């Protein structure tokens, strides 16, 4: 018999400082991408290859929320604090409890406010957060 695995979006947790994010969008709601260039290389005139490893451990985290989510208010407040006096940073802890995957970062900040859209039905708001030294475990 083949291996059976289970994914449940309700078992994905996202802590932003002391705030527990909620009200996620109904499709892809968390995206984590490395901000650096990874590994690059150059080839010399004689064919020798030299590799460079980017030491950048920053990540971009995108969080898609329902427009009525309380997390929108929290992220806006942190962005406003950062603009005012530079105190809008917070730790990030994202975990898929069933998949045993975890992403953490001790210093993160909101890049800019999410777009504000209204229509006949509710819309999603996507926030972009930078994590200075992210780590997958």
Average pLDDT over the chain reads 94
Residue 73, phi then psi, degrees to nearest 5: -65, -45
> Token digits for 103?
């992403």
User: What pLDDT sits at residue 27?
Assistant: 85
DSSP 115: P
Tens digit of each residue's pLDDT (9 = 90 or more) over 97-116 = 988 899 999 999 999 999 98
| Of 47 and 1, the one with more pLDDT | 47
**C-alpha dist (Å) from residue 2 to 7, 73, 120:** 16, 45, 45
User: What pLDDT sits at residue 20?
Assistant: 97
Domains within the chain, CATH numbers bracketed:
9-136 (2.30.110)
Q: How far apart are CA 65 and CA 128, in angstroms?
A: 11
Q: pLDDT band at 73, cuts 50/70/90?
A: very high
């Amino acid at each position: 018999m083949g291996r059976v695995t289970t994914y449940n979006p309700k078992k994905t947790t996202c802590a932003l400082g002391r705030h527990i994010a909620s009200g996620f969008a109904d499709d892809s709601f968390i995206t984590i991408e490395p901000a650096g260039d990874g590994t690059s290389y150059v080839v010399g005139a004689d064919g020798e290859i030299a590799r460079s490893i980017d030491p950048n451990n920053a990540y971009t985290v995108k969080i898609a929320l329902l427009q009525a989510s309380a997390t929108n208010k929290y992220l806006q407040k942190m962005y406003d604090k950062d603009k005012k006096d530079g105190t809008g940073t917070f730790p990030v802890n994202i975990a898929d409890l069933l998949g045993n995957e975890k992403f953490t970062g001790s210093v993160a900040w909101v890049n800019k406010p999410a777009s504000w859209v209204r229509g006949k039905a509710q819309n999603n708001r996507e926030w972009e957060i930078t994590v200075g030294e992210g780590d997958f475990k």
